[in-house]
Amino acid sequence: MTHDVTHDSSGMSYGDYLDLDTLLDAQHTRAVPPQHDELLFIIQHQTSELWFKLVIHELRSARELIAADQLAPALKRLARVKHIQATLSQQWTVLATLTPSEYAQFRRFLATSSGFQSLQYRIVEFMLGNKNPDMVKVFEGRTNAIAELERELHEPSLYDVFLQLLARRGLPVPPELLDRDWSRPYPASEELVDVIASIYRKLDEYWDIYETCEELVDLEDNFQLWRFRHLKTVERIIGMGRGTGGSAGVPFLRRALEQTFFPELYAVRGRIAEGTIGS
């Protein structure tokens, strides 16, 4: 008697497990008459949101693990996030096949919607430390979204819990960085650059912390690459015109490239390059 590998006595199919009926029925085009390229636009953004969901899942776990002094599994989480970031950046090449003429065929049907309104993207930025209470106002009228964003706004960022770990390891992290209003933007500290420099000066003593510093730099580097690919894709499709929902488009995205999550991890590089981190 042959075994039918497609049969499952529980009645659970591949489609059932992944809830594919729901997932594949979530692409609702709006253009009238229908436009071929609108499906690309929808799927591009839906898949990005799915990846953001996993990024949030991994970052929350990494934050909890760092808070529990478990750096090894935390670094595994961050390594996975880096691979997701690479996938998200590569996805822009698919959307970049959309020409200005093709986008113009359905753009008006987006109405006031905009990627600027992505709750999950904003949560990721908050988790990495780019806190801005004004961003909560973007979600006015969406009670659940505001509640979730407010919770994250008042949580310490990934960097904040890392600095707390440094303090527990006996490093002289400035006290004002350890006990502050987490909802406010992170205040860069020259004193902390000295602390980070001591880590880079004594690799044998602080190897796991040093490795975490470099993982965080990777995260920011990847995030900036994603921002840049976003900027260039938008510029390719709409030029310097305004984005949907009244957003500023390319100028806004260009300003975002100046934002940094972990300023001291970059400042210390200047000291190393200049040979001024001491002995």
Question: Per the omega criterion (within 30 degrees of 0), is the bond before 156 cis?
Answer: no
Distance, CA of 141 to CA of 1 (rounded, Å): 61
Distance, CA of 71 to CA of 209 (rounded, Å): 8
Q: Is 44 annotated as a binding residue?
A: yes
Q: Centre a 10 Å sphere on the Cβ of residue 76 and count the other Cβ atoms it contains.
A: 13
Q: Is 230 annotated as a binding residue?
A: yes
Q: Is 60 annotated as a binding residue?
A: no
Burial of 182 (0-12, 13-18, 19+ CB in 10 A): middle
CB 185, CB 128: distance < 8 Å: no
**Residue written as tokens 């995205």?**
253
CB 223, CB 128: distance < 8 Å: yes
Distance, CA of 210 to CA of 159 (rounded, Å): 14
Q: Is 106 annotated as a binding residue?
A: no
| Alpha carbons within 13 A on the beta-carbon side of 112 | 2
Q: Is 244 annotated as a binding residue?
A: yes
Distance, CA of 166 to CA of 163 (rounded, Å): 5
Q: Is 42 annotated as a binding residue?
A: yes
Residue ranges of the annotated binding site for substrate are: 41-45, 103, 107, 244
Residue ranges of the annotated binding site for heme are: 230
Residue ranges of the annotated binding site are: 41-45, 103, 107, 230, 244
